[in-house]
Amino acid sequence: MRARLAGERYRAPREEAAPALRAGVMAAPREARSPSRREGEAPIRAIVADDEPRARQFLEHRLAEMDDIEVVGSARDGSEALDLIARHAPAVAFLDIHMPGLSGLEVARHLRGPDAPVVVFVTAYDQHAIEAFELAALDYVLKPIKRERLVEAVRRVVHEIRTKRSPAAGQEAAVRTALESPALQSRLEPLRRLPVRHRREVRLLDLDQVARIVSRDRLVLACAEGREYLVDYTLQELEARLPEGRFVRVHRAALVNLDAIDSYGGEDGVLVLRLKDGTRVEASERRAAEVRRKLR
């Protein structure tokens, strides 16, 4: 998969090639065949994630027809997808973009390191969103899924995995590029749970558990259960993605869960919040009025 160079102009494909390129694959032969592995080669492990049961089952069925792929798990949402990836360590993940809780893109942004699976996105998005995938050089297949397109997408992923070209190496940066697109940002739902890093896994914290989220030494940390967990979002991103009315920005380096506040009051002209866990948090002069308004 060749990433488009910065500043390189996108050129629309010729009419006869457009359907294949929009599906994120090269033009398929008229009679596309399922990839078949060589004797002695183990099938490549895959997981499937889609919140629509019929779409999920259809994709599982199509992949089961291919000798090179073994589906080791299927998920109904982004949270389950992360859990399956942690447990089964698949080489490739087929992720629906629009899923409750965590979108396919957000699942992908938490997949890091040399063992991260290659991601193929499955989407029914419109052309404006598709352009975001193309500019970020991300692989995708359009819904309704056509067998020939899926075969070619699998063929390419299998080839690159088996030739050890590390197709997931630039995936993290590509996903972040796509997430910055207004066409995709407008489709992201509020976070129902907060993904955090715990050891080598991604843990999903209920928002009620998170007392505050702070930025310190260029890291964003969620304070919950008496511990601090690393978060992959910036505070600015979290302000936009957390449910409205649940958290308040008290200063440039902290968000506080409104339900975690036990009391508040002025001390020497500074608004001070006292949290239920005993933490004392000062609000900046610039943010104090907004904090007071939300506490009423």
Please give the pLDDT value at position 129: 67
The tokens 């001390």 sit on which residue?
Answer: 267
Q: Is 202 helix (H, G, I), strand (E, B) or coil?
A: strand
Tens of pLDDT, residue by residue, the chain (296 residues):
433 333 333 333 333 333 333 333 333 333 444 555 666 688 999 999 999 999 999 999 999 999 999 999 999 999 899 999 999 999 999 999 888 878 888 898 888 877 889 999 998 876 766 777 776 767 888 888 999 999 999 998 888 888 876 656 677 778 887 877 777 777 777 888 999 998 878 888 999 999 999 999 999 999 998 999 999 999 998 998 899 999 999 999 999 999 999 999 999 999 999 999 999 999 999 999 999 999 98
Measured in Å, how far apart are the chain's first and last C-alpha atoms? 53
Residues ≥6 apart with Cβ < 8 Å to 133 = 24, 121, 123, 140, 178
User: Considering the entire predicted model, what is its pTM?
Assistant: 0.73
- What whole-number distance in Å separates Cα of residue 296 and Cα of residue 251? 19
Q: How far is CA 193 from CA 28, 199, 202, in A?
A: 40, 18, 12
* 193 three-class SS: strand
Nearby residues of 178 by Cβ (< 8 Å), 6 or more positions away: 105, 132, 133, 135, 136, 138, 184
